[in-house]
Homo-oligomer: A and B are copies of this chain.
Amino acid sequence: MSWTTPKKAIMLAASAEGGTKLNAFDNALLKMGIGNVNLVKLSSVIPSHIEWIEKVPEIPIGMLLPTVYAHIESDEPGTTISAALGVGISEGNQGGLIYEYSGYCTKEEATEMVKRMVEEGFRIRGWKLKEFKVAAAEITVKNKPAAAVAAVVMFPY
């Protein structure tokens, strides 16, 4: 993290089980390829002209990475939990917005929630929505704690 502005970003989502809620969260991060870095939680704006990448780059263990994330954990068997991030990109890639939602619902319901939030965020700023993207994960709890996580991780170079 820096006083500067991120250059690249990636959207990721996964769900996982674990021996505790925190381990389930950790296991979901590992599936997403970001289990060995330090996430610094951000509020939710995408810099201008960001480049979206498809694959987590090689990152030193313990590097600090600014990240917008939504997560939910549960250990109640039978419960379905979901986390979603909705990303709206503006015309000309001048900037974008990220909204998060997590709750006791399906992935589709969480996606619908973040879509509605993105649309309102664009409307109120007078920005034109060129593209809507979503990262969402869902899991139904069985006999172990489980987590659903969605993240937009940002990179400085």
0/1 per residue, A104-121, Cβ < 8 Å to B?
000000000100110011
A39, B27: Cα distance in complex, Å: 26
Task: Establish whether residues A62 and B41, one from each chain, have CB atoms under 8 Å apart when the complex forms.
Answer: no
- Looking at A29-37, A76-84, A130-138, the stretch in contact with chain B turns out to be A29-37
Chain A to chain B: the 10 pairs with minimum beta-carbon distance, closest first: A47-B62, A61-B95, A3-B156, A39-B43, A38-B42, A19-B120, A45-B62, A23-B120, A1-B1, A5-B63
Q: Which residues of A contact B (CB under 8 A)?
A: 1-6, 18-20, 22-23, 26-27, 29-30, 35-48, 50, 60-64, 66, 68, 94-96, 99-101, 113, 116-117, 120-121, 124-125, 156-157
